[in-house]
A and B are shown apart, each in its own frame.
Chain A
């Protein structure tokens, strides 16, 4: 008989995690974990910590600096949230293309991050917006830039006893524009072949003030594009050499060939999407 604990509040959950760290598997929406259990029943965890009922991990709160999203908030709630749609449209967009409605009704933003798939649908958005993670432990909490969270293939910075409690996303800079695109195996219920989110701030002289990228399915982890960002910083839009950008993209990503796509496709499309993000004039979607 498996052990299933449904703590009443966060401190109780943290105490359980701290006192019995290893064996408890944290579950929220279950859309990844239940698949794993089905495909590999012999590896099914014996002890579960069900955090789906914790109020502290639910909901979205607007602050002066940005938005705080409880880790166990469903993607459905996120993609419909008026403030998210207004100020973080890329997040609304990435939540809306995660799986399909029955998945979004269950899957949580924190789960998407902690499952740590290199193809995580919301990871590029969170990287581009410069999200920070609120990580809690029985003994206290810490903040971690999301960019420092993924340490390797399916490896995260979460320590034993720690729980991701919330994600905090700052307002985008005033003159920034976003670009989000997921290239999947099909239009819904798709795993990304390549996906990108970019947030680029350009001043009135056409100089790039900041450029943040997030990509998925192009490396062992979701990744930012530090070389591309550095190249763009302080450069005039009209001064960008596409070949240089392509070079930098190549430095920043390490796509593989797998069942869903090829290295060549991922590399080329990643470059094209980065260039598109840079040159695209507005946030408006594809022309018709």
Chain B
């Protein structure tokens, strides 16, 4: 693909309107859950299991404490089903008897005085019969006699295309490797929390920090045994999520609602302190990948064989979905006739792992991209060249057996990235630098990858998302959808898309608060689906609204804001229906076999090539990222500044994943480094400028050809950085984070 066919963004700021939530956030007036005005509130707290699974024998309340002052909730108080509504009802809302990990909620307490609450928390002791042989490791779980669930496997997937034995036969060069990735904490700066109120009519309102209001509503329906009409979920301003507020808010919401039900009409606030948030909420799945790649002498991939396993933790939660995405993305954006990826999500006694930006793909892409560099070295070939030989082009068959259409920019992203970084020149400079015996070694590494936007396969069909637009008499339009702003810019982007489609200035369009009593279910805010899928629905609804205004309220074409307002007023005056709703219709060419992992997995893939330049201190083996270049093809940049911020922020998390972030576990399977001073994310002193280059092919499934942006920045940095460090130090790295301690071991064992 020639570069000239892809548009490169240069007008970032001018094409970007002001963020709709910007002013409130800058002035500090945006209200997060802990800021919501609430008189006479009770504070909630949670008593948790301490053993890594076992049986709860007894709950002992200290007789020295006057418990009548407290609201106390146990499993017996649950009016509905004692199960957190997710893929499977295997996780209890409150432990009654059996439990699988340390940190499961047993007793909920509430009191007006947080100090008294803190003391009371210590006045509840649990008599536990602990599980004697807890499992904390993926391979140990697969080999263990002890079973948490049958075989300790939640899900076992197989992507099997072609014949790997045949590929092995054809390969001249083969590499084998075993890669490990750790858990990673989302570390949204706003800890999780909910505020619940029992209303006078017996209904319950829950407000809080969340990505998916309808997930929370469904969980409440099941746990509270109430129908939807008596439950209302409202999202408050959400201070970061990154996947971390996809499933767990349902648990906190159920807890807060249970307390509110017994609190005699007083509101109950359940906001986690940082330590509790770190210890109990879901994080990225740790992974273990065995990989074997083979190529012929020309460097053409002959087979990819992977055994990819993730630690799902003690309950199933979202692990099957995370695993599915990990499996589909494992073979990368390469053409290869023989591919086998076995994926397993295993059960351990860790707290359940969950969604985090990238959702299984960063783990398997890490293995694949570092393995590609190994293969290049064995072939004595430049890693960029090896990728150029194998990257998909239009007309090729992709790893899931789908013929690649025109919307393929793998080569374009690589070419731009190489040119932008002066890759070959840098490579030579760094080689010379390293040979000169300086105090540091430098390297340049790359990763090429693609990421599917939206739900996998038929997922969007099952969601059947709906979006409404409400025309108001004053000519303003409200967007009604359940998708949430959590920092990623959805509020601005969706308003922009609607305003654009309606031919109105942005200040005439408003995104309604995500309140389940008002907004239809437009699906969860996950998987980079919001702009592409929901944005497309908004565009459709806008078309419907314009048509109605033209047909029933004499809206002239073309219109301006004034004539639009006049038409809205006319429609309202005749009591016409001012609400339009659009529902998702699946594209006709989407065929996906979710058993065999064959067909078209995603409506669109976004494409990327990331290049990291690093410097390692020879003395201390500390690594610094000198420069980072992210070239990403995203269809259309609806709001270039937001897109740039998404990519830079994701890359920063990726740099953290590569170099610093490591969830350490104590002997009970609880996060040991449960403070911000010990769980290390990069500060501004650790991060310089990044270079973001946006390519816009205009062929995505969203408005104007837009596609999902937000996951890719998490996929690429770790392999690019590891490849750069390997080159700088001439060593093999099989694991992240690449801490100096690990590099010391590797360099010492090489006798250097």
Interface residues of A (CB under 8 A from B): 39, 41-42, 100, 181, 183, 185-191, 193, 259-262, 264-265, 268-269, 272-273, 276, 286-287
Given contacts A187-B683, A188-B683, 12 further A-B contacts (CB under 8 A): A185-B660, A186-B680, A186-B686, A187-B685, A188-B685, A188-B686, A193-B740, A264-B744, A268-B744, A269-B620, A269-B740, A286-B617
**B683 near A189: Cβ-Cβ < 8 Å:** yes
B115, B620, B682, B748: the one within 8 Å of A41 (CB): B115
Verify if B126 is at the interface (C-beta below 8 Å from A). Answer: no
Q: In the bound complex, do residue B622 and residue A183 qualify as a contact, i.e. CB atoms below 8 Å apart?
A: yes
Chain B, 404-440, CB within 8 A of any chain A CB: 438-440
Question: Which residues of A are found within 8 Å of B673, using beta-carbon distances?
Answer: 259
B119 at the interface (CB under 8 A from A): yes
Q: What are 20 A-to-B residue pairs whose CB atoms are below 8 Å? A: A41-B115, A183-B622, A186-B660, A186-B680, A187-B685, A188-B686, A189-B677, A190-B680, A191-B678, A259-B673, A259-B678, A261-B741, A264-B741, A264-B744, A264-B745, A265-B740, A269-B620, A272-B619, A273-B619, A286-B617
Q: In angstroms, how far is the closest chain B Cβ from the Cβ of A189?
A: 5
Q: Does B750 contact A (CB under 8 A)?
A: no
Determine whether the beta carbon of A265 is less than 8 Å from that of B686. no
Give min CB distance, B156 to chain A, whole Å: 35
CA distance A181 to B439 in the complex (A): 14
Q: Which residues of chain A come closer than 8 Å to B664, judged between CB atoms?
A: 259
Is B672 located at the chain interface by the 8 A CB criterion?
A: yes
A286–B620 Cα distance when bound, in Å, is: 12
Cα(A31)–Cα(B376), bound, Å? 51
Contact between chains at A185 and B672 (CB < 8 Å): no
Minimum distance in angstroms from A42 CB to a CB of chain B: 7
**A260 cross-chain contacts in B, Cβ below 8 A:** 678
Check A100 against B683 for contact (C-beta < 8 Å).
yes
**Which one of A39, A100, A259, A260 has the greatest number of beta carbons of chain B within 10 Å?**
A259
Please name the 10 residue pairs, one residue from A and one from B, whose CB atoms are nearest each other, closest first.
Answer: A188-B685, A187-B685, A265-B741, A187-B686, A188-B683, A185-B680, A262-B741, A183-B620, A259-B673, A272-B619
Closest B residue by C-beta to A194? B620
Contacting pair A259 B672 (CB below 8 A): yes
CB-CB under 8 A for A191 and B744, given A42-B122, A185-B660, A186-B683:
no
- A286–B439 touching, CB < 8 Å: yes
Which B residues are in CB contact (< 8 Å) with A188?
683-686
User: Would you call A287 and B439 a contact (CB within 8 A)?
Assistant: yes
Q: How far is the CB of A123 from chain B (nearest CB, A)?
A: 18
The interface of chain B, by Cβ under 8 A from chain A, is 115, 118-119, 122, 275, 438-440, 617, 619-620, 622, 660, 664, 672-673, 675, 677-678, 680, 682-686, 740-741, 744-745, 748
User: In the bound complex, what is the Cα–Cα distance between A264 and B115 (angstroms)?
Assistant: 43
Q: Which of B119, B275, B744 contacts A269 (CB 8 A)?
A: B744
Q: Smallest distance from the beta carbon of A284 to chain B beta carbons, Å? A: 12
Q: Residue of A at shortest CB range from B114?
A: A41
Contact A186–B685 (Cβ < 8 Å): yes
Q: Which residues of A contact B617 (CB under 8 A)?
A: 286
Instruction: Assess whether A41 is in contact with B438, with CB atoms less than 8 Å apart.
Output: no
Q: In whole angstroms, how far apart are the Cα atoms of A268 and B619 in the complex?
A: 10
A268 to chain B: which residues have CB within 8 Å?
A: 744, 748
Look across to chain A and name the residue whose beta carbon is closest to the beta carbon of B748. A268
Residues on the A chain within 8 Å of B745, using CB: 264
Which residues of the partner chain A approach B678 to less than 8 Å between Cβ atoms?
Answer: 185, 191, 259-260
C-alpha spacing A268/B618, complex, angstroms = 12
- Docked complex Cα distance between A188 and B682 (Å): 9
B122 to chain A, nearest CB (A): 7
A57 to B119, CA, bound (A): 37
Least Cβ–Cβ distance between B335 and chain A, in angstroms: 40
Q: How distant is the Cα of A190 from the Cα of B682 in the complex, in angstroms?
A: 10
Contacts of A287 in B (CB 8 A): 438-439
CB distance from A185 to the nearest CB of B (A): 5
User: Shortest beta-carbon distance, B307 to chain A, in Å?
Assistant: 30
Which residues does chain A contribute within 8 Å of B748, judged by CB atoms? 268
Contacts of B683 in A (CB 8 A): 100, 186-189
* Chain B residues whose C-beta falls within 8 Å of the C-beta of A265 in the assembled complex: 740-741, 744
Shortest CB–CB separation between residue A41 and chain B, in angstroms?
Answer: 6
Which B residues lie within 8 Å of A189 (CB)?
677, 683
With a cutoff of 8 Å between Cβ atoms, the chain A residues found around residue B744 in the complex are 264-265, 268-269
In this complex, what residue of A is CB-closest to B659?
Answer: A186
Shortest C-beta distance, A262 to chain B (Å), equals 5
| Residues from chain B with Cβ under 8 Å of A276 in the complex | 619
* Inter-chain contacts of A272 with B (CB < 8 A): 619-620
CB proximity of B265 to chain A, nearest CB, Å: 29
Compute how far the CA of A216 lies from the CA of B660 in the bound complex, rounded to whole angstroms: 21
Q: Do the beta carbons of A186 and B115 come within 8 Å of each other?
A: no
Q: How far is the CB of A132 from chain B (nearest CB, A)?
A: 31
B622 contact set on A, CB distance < 8 A: 183
Nearest-CB distance from B439 to chain A (Å)?
A: 6
The distance from the CB of B737 to the nearest CB of chain A, in whole angstroms, is 11
Residues on the A chain within 8 Å of B115, using CB: 41
A35 nearest in chain B by CB position: B677
Q: Which residue of B lies closest to A275 (CB)?
A: B619
- Nearest to A97 among chain B residues (CB) is B685
Residue of B nearest to A276 (CB): B619
Quick check: A42 and B119 within 8 Å, CB to CB? yes
In the bound complex, residues from chain A placing their C-beta under 8 Å from that of B685 are: 100, 186-188
List the B side residues contacting A183 at CB < 8 Å. Answer: 620, 622, 740
- Docked Cα-Cα span, A108 to B311, in Å, equals 45
Report the bound CA distance from A275 to B533 in whole Å: 60
CA–CA, A264 and B501, complex, Å: 62
For residue B677, which residues in chain A have a CB less than 8 angstroms away from its CB? 189, 191
**Considering the chains assembled together, what is the distance between the CA atoms of A261 and B744 in angstroms?**
12
Least CB separation from A263: chain B residue: B741
**Shortest Cβ gap from B745 to chain A (Å):** 7
Residues on B with beta carbons closer than 8 Å to the beta carbon of A187 = 683, 685-686
